[in-house]
Chains A and B, each alone.
Chain A
Amino acid sequence: MSSTQSRDIATSRQVRRADVVVIGAGLAGLTAARELGAAGKSVAVLEARDRVGGRLLNHDLGDGQVTEIGGQFVGPTQDHILALAKEVGVDTYRAAVPGEAVYVHDGRAKRFTGHTPPDLFALPDMGIALARIGQAAAKVDPAAPWQAPNARELDGMTYETWLRKAEITGDAVDMINLFLNSAYGGEARDASALFSLWYVSTFGNETHPGTMERGTGTTGGAQDSRFVGGSQLVAQRLAEELDGRVHLSAPVRRVSQDSTGVTVISDAGDWRADRVIVAVPPLVASRILWDPLLPAQQDQLFQRLPFGTLMKCVAVYDKPFWRAEGLSGMGLLRDGSPIREMFDNTPPDGGPGVLMGFLGGKEWRKWAHRPAAERRGAVLRCFAQVVGDRAFDTVDYVEQDWTAEQWTQGGPTSVAAPGVLSDFGQWMGRPHGRVHWAGAEFSPYWNGYMDGAVRSGKHTATELLHQI
C-alpha cells in the first residue's frame, strides 16, 4: 500500500464528507476522481480490495520485474488510455516479439509469420466470416446498439446461431471462438448476436469504425503494445496523484440517497456526498443495497451482465529460450486445447522468460475445478506444443482465476446473452438520482477494455460536473 493511500478502520459511525464519492479504484473510478479533483471537487474513492487497479494486476517476478496477470494490451484508437498513461509517466512498448508464431491443429504444430494461420481449410471460411461480421457490425451504433436495424432479431439468437445462419462453418466458428475464449471468457454460443456485433463495432473510436481485425490483431491491433512496469502501474500512479483520497479495504455495502445528498456505508466508514459514481462491474453493483432501489430495469440489466469465466496462466523460465529458436512465443491452439491463445509475456528488457496463456470459456469450466497440479500440467503441455519440451522446466508458475475475485466475479468483461441489450440496454448508463455509473462496460468504444474504462471515467465525471 502506498503511503499516499490510507486504510480506514470503522471504529464509529462518524460520517465524512466529500463532494463526490467514487466506488471502485479501477481505471474508471480513478480517472473520474482525477477529473473531479482537477475541477476542484473534493473526492473520496472507496475500494473494496486492499489494492487499486481492479482488473489490472501486476505479478512480481523479483528483481524489480513484473508481468501482468490481468488486463495488459493496448493498441491504436485506444487514445484515452494511451494519453492517460503518458500523462502519468508510464511508457509503452511493442508487445510482439520477433519470430514465428505456432498454429496447433489436428495434433500438428505449424510455424507461421504474419497474421494468418496456415490452415487452407479454415481460411476461406474465415475470410467470409470477417467480411460478414464487418458488414453487420458497421450497421450497429456503438452508442445505441438496440437501435440497430433488426436489433430484436439479432438479439433473439446467439452469435453462433447467427454465424451458422450466415453459412459460416465449423472451422471459422472455432477460429472465432478462439478469440472469444479470451475476449469473452466464453464462446459464440454464450452471447447474443447483437451484443457480439456491437462488441466488434466498439473496436475503434469516433473517427475509426470498429473492425474485427483491429480487435483481434497484434501489431496494429488491440494487442499491439504493453506498459513498461505493467498495466497496474497506471492505476497506481493515479492513486498516488489522488494522495490520501483513495481508501482501501472499504467495500461499500449500502447507498442511500435523499433530496439533499447520498450516504455511502462502507466497511471503512460512512460518507456523505452530493453525488456518487459507481465504478464497479455491473453485477457487483447490483449486489449493493440500494435505497431507494435501483430502477427494476437497470437492476435486471446489471444482473444480466455477468463477466465470463477466465483464468490467466503464467509460466516463468530462466530466459525466453524460444526466442533463440526463432519463435515469438505466440500460439493459437485448436481442437479443445485447454489454452487456446498464448503469448510471450517476458518483461521488455528480456528476462526472465514468461509465457502466458488464457484458460477461458468452456475450457475454464472443464479445468477450473481440477487439482492444481493437473491443470498446470495441461497448461504446460499446451505451451510445450508451441515452444517445445523446455516449457516443462519452469522456475515459477502462477494462475490468476478472475472468477475467484469477489470484487470482479469473472473476466475479462460482461457478456450479454440474447434478449439483454434490446430489452434493457438503454438503461446502461442512466443515472439513478444522484448516482452515476462508470466502468469499462459503460463505454461505447473499446467496451470492456482499459480504454473503455478511461473513456467512461472521463465521460461520467464530465456528466456529473455539468450537474453540480
Chain B
Amino acid sequence: MNRFVVAETAVIDAPIGRVWDVVSRTDRYAEWVAGAIEVTDHHGVATVGKTYAERNRTLGPLKTDSVWTVREIELRKRRVDTGTGFTPLRDVTNTFEFRPVQSADGREVTEMLYQVEYAIGLGPLGLLLDSIQQPAMRAGMRTSMANLNTLLRSEASRTAL
C-alpha cells in the first residue's frame, strides 16, 4: 500500500476567529472547497464524532459521494476529519491547521495548512494513478484556500448587514 501526504499552505486575509468560524461550518464546504459540488448532509458546526456528506468532483467529469467524520478539534488551531468514498484512495485524512500571523501592514491574518493524507493500493499502478491525480488535488487545495479568502472578504464588505 502506497501512502501519500499532500500539503499546501496559504495566508488567509482575515483574523483566525473568522476563518475558524467558516471552516467549522459543515454546511458551507460547497461555498469554498473546490471539489465539493454540494453538501448533501451536515450537522452544522463541526462536532467530534459526527459526520457530513458531500457530492464531489474527482478527476475530469467524474463525481463521487463522500462521507466525512470529524475526528479531532483543537479550537482555532487544528481540525482533522476522515473521509470515505474516494476509491481508489483509501484511509483519507483531511487536516486543517491555523496559525495567527501579521500582514505587512500589521493586521492579524491567518496562515492555513491544508493537508490530505491517503493510501492507494494497486502497486505500481497506484503510483502512476497518484502522479495523475496529485497535481489536480494540489491545485484544488490552493483554489479552495483562495476561495475561502474571497468568501471572507465578501462577508467583510464595508456595508456589513
Q: B145-161 vs A: 1/0 string, CB under 8 Å? A: 00000110111011111
A380 at the interface (CB under 8 A from B): yes
Contact A374 B158 (CB under 8 A): no
Is B31 an interface residue when CB atoms closer than 8 A count as contact?
Answer: yes
User: Does A17 sit within 8 A of B, measured CB to CB?
Assistant: no
Give residues 364-410 of A contacting B (CB, 8 Å). Answer: 372-374, 376-378, 380-381, 384, 389, 392-397
Whether B151 lies near A381 (C-beta < 8 A) is yes
User: Is the CB–CB distance between A392 and B161 below 8 Å?
Assistant: no
> What is the distance, in angstroms, from B10's C-beta to the closest C-beta of chain A?
17
Residue of A nearest to B154 (CB): A377
Chain B minimum-CB-distance residue to A399:
B161
On whether the beta carbons of A380 and B161 are closer than 8 Å, the reply is no
If over half of B's interface residues share one DSSP class (helix, strand or loop), that class is named, otherwise mixed; here it is: helix
Contact assessment for A396 and B159 in the assembled complex, using a CB-CB cutoff below 8 Å: yes
* Residue in chain B with minimal CB distance to A372: B161
User: Which residue on chain A has the smallest CB distance to residue B25?
Assistant: A374
The answer on a CB contact under 8 Å between B161 and A376 is yes
CB neighbours of A393 from chain B (8 A): 157-158
B154 close to A380 (CB less than 8 A): yes
Bound form: Cα–Cα A98–B157 in Å: 28
Report whether B157 and A392 are in contact in the complex, using a CB–CB cutoff of 8 Å.
yes
Q: State whether B155 touches A373 (Cβ < 8 A).
A: yes
Please name the residue on chain A nearest to B22 by beta carbon: A374
By a CB distance below 8 angstroms, the chain B residues around A392 are 153-154, 157
Q: Roughly how many angstroms separate A372 CA and B153 CA in the complex, as a whole number?
A: 15
**A384 to chain B: which residues have CB within 8 Å?**
150, 154
Is there an interface contact between A377 and B157, defined as CB atoms closer than 8 Å?
Answer: yes
Q: Which of A376, A389, A395 contacts B155 (CB 8 A)?
A: A376
Q: What is the minimal beta-carbon distance from A209 to any residue of chain B, in angstroms?
A: 41
Interface of A is mostly: helix
CB distance from A379 to the nearest CB of B (A): 8
A376 touches B157 (CB 8 A): yes
Collect the chain A residues with CB atoms within 8 Å of residue B159's CB. 376, 394-397
Q: Total A-B pairs in contact (CB under 8 Å)?
A: 39
Is the beta-carbon distance between B161 and A381 smaller than 8 angstroms? no
Contact A374 B155 (CB under 8 A): yes
- Which residues from A are CB-within-8-Å of B151? 377, 381
| Least distance between A372 CB and chain B CB atoms (Å) | 4
Nearest residue in B to A338 (C-beta to C-beta)?
B31
What's the Cα separation between A378 and B154 when bound, in Å?
7
- Report chain A residues within 8 Å CB of B161: 372-373, 376, 397
A396 to B155 alpha-carbon distance, docked (Å): 14
* Chain A proximity mask over B18-61: 1 for CB below 8 Å, otherwise 0: 00000000000001000000000000000000000000000000
B-chain residues with CB within 8 Å of residue A372 when the two chains form the complex:
161
- Complex CA distance for A18 and B86, rounded to whole angstroms: 73
Residues from chain A with a CB closer than 8 A to the CB of B153 are 389, 392
Residues of A with C-beta under 8 A to B154 = 376-378, 380-381, 384, 392
- Min distance, Cβ B127 to any Cβ of chain A, angstroms: 29
- Within the complex, the shortest CB–CB distance from A104 to chain B, in Å, comes to 14
**Contact partners of B150 in chain A: CB under 8 A:** 381, 384, 389
A372 to B155, CA, bound (A): 10
**Is B158 a contact partner of A394 (Cβ separation < 8 A)?**
yes
**Nearest CB in chain B: distance from A401 CB, A:** 13
Residues in B with CB closer than 8 Å to A376 are 154-155, 157, 159, 161
Residues of A within 8 A of B157 (CB): 376-377, 380, 392-394, 397
Counting chain A CB atoms within 10 Å of each CB, the highest count among B150, B151, B153, B155 belongs to B155
A20 to chain B, nearest CB (A): 44
Q: Which residues of B contact A397 (CB under 8 A)?
A: 157, 159, 161
Chain B residues in 8 Å Cβ range of A395: 158-159
- Collect the chain B residues with CB atoms within 8 Å of residue A378's CB: 31, 154
| Closest B residue, CB atoms, query A374 | B155
Contact B158 A377 (CB under 8 A): no
Q: Which residues of B contact A394 (CB under 8 A)?
A: 157-159
Chain B nearest Cβ from A353, distance in angstroms: 13
**Could you tell me the distance between the alpha carbons of A333 and B4 in the complex, rounded to whole angstroms?**
37
Could you tell me the distance between the alpha carbons of A396 and B150 in the complex, rounded to whole angstroms?
A: 19
A414 CB to nearest chain B CB (Å): 30
Complex Cα gap A370–B155 (Å)? 13
Q: How far, in Å, is B13 (CB) from chain A's closest CB?
A: 12
In the complex, the chain B residue whose C-beta lies closest to that of A398 is B159
Closest to A383 in B: B154
- Interchain CA distance A392-B158 in the complex, whole Å: 8
Query: Once bound together, how far apart are the Cα atoms of A259 and B128, in whole Å?
Result: 88
Chain A proximity of B147: nearest CB distance (Å): 9
Question: Which residues of B, 75-130, contact A by the 8 Å Cβ criterion?
Answer: none
A376's nearest neighbour on chain B, judged by CB, is B161
Cα-based distance from A23 to B66 in the complex (angstroms): 55
In the assembled complex, the Cα of A377 lies from the Cα of B14 at a distance in Å of: 15
Closest 5 CB pairs of A and B: A377-B155, A377-B154, A372-B161, A397-B159, A380-B154
Question: Measuring CB to CB, which residues of chain A are less than 8 angstroms from any residue of chain B?
Answer: 372-374, 376-378, 380-381, 384, 389, 392-397
Q: Which residues of B contact A (CB under 8 A)?
A: 31, 150-151, 153-155, 157-161
9 A–B contacts, CB within 8 A, in A order: A374-B155, A376-B154, A376-B155, A377-B151, A377-B154, A377-B157, A381-B150, A381-B151, A384-B154
* Additional pairs, 14, CB under 8 Å, beyond known A392-B153, A397-B159: A374-B155, A376-B154, A376-B161, A377-B154, A377-B157, A380-B157, A381-B150, A381-B151, A381-B154, A384-B150, A389-B153, A392-B157, A393-B157, A396-B159
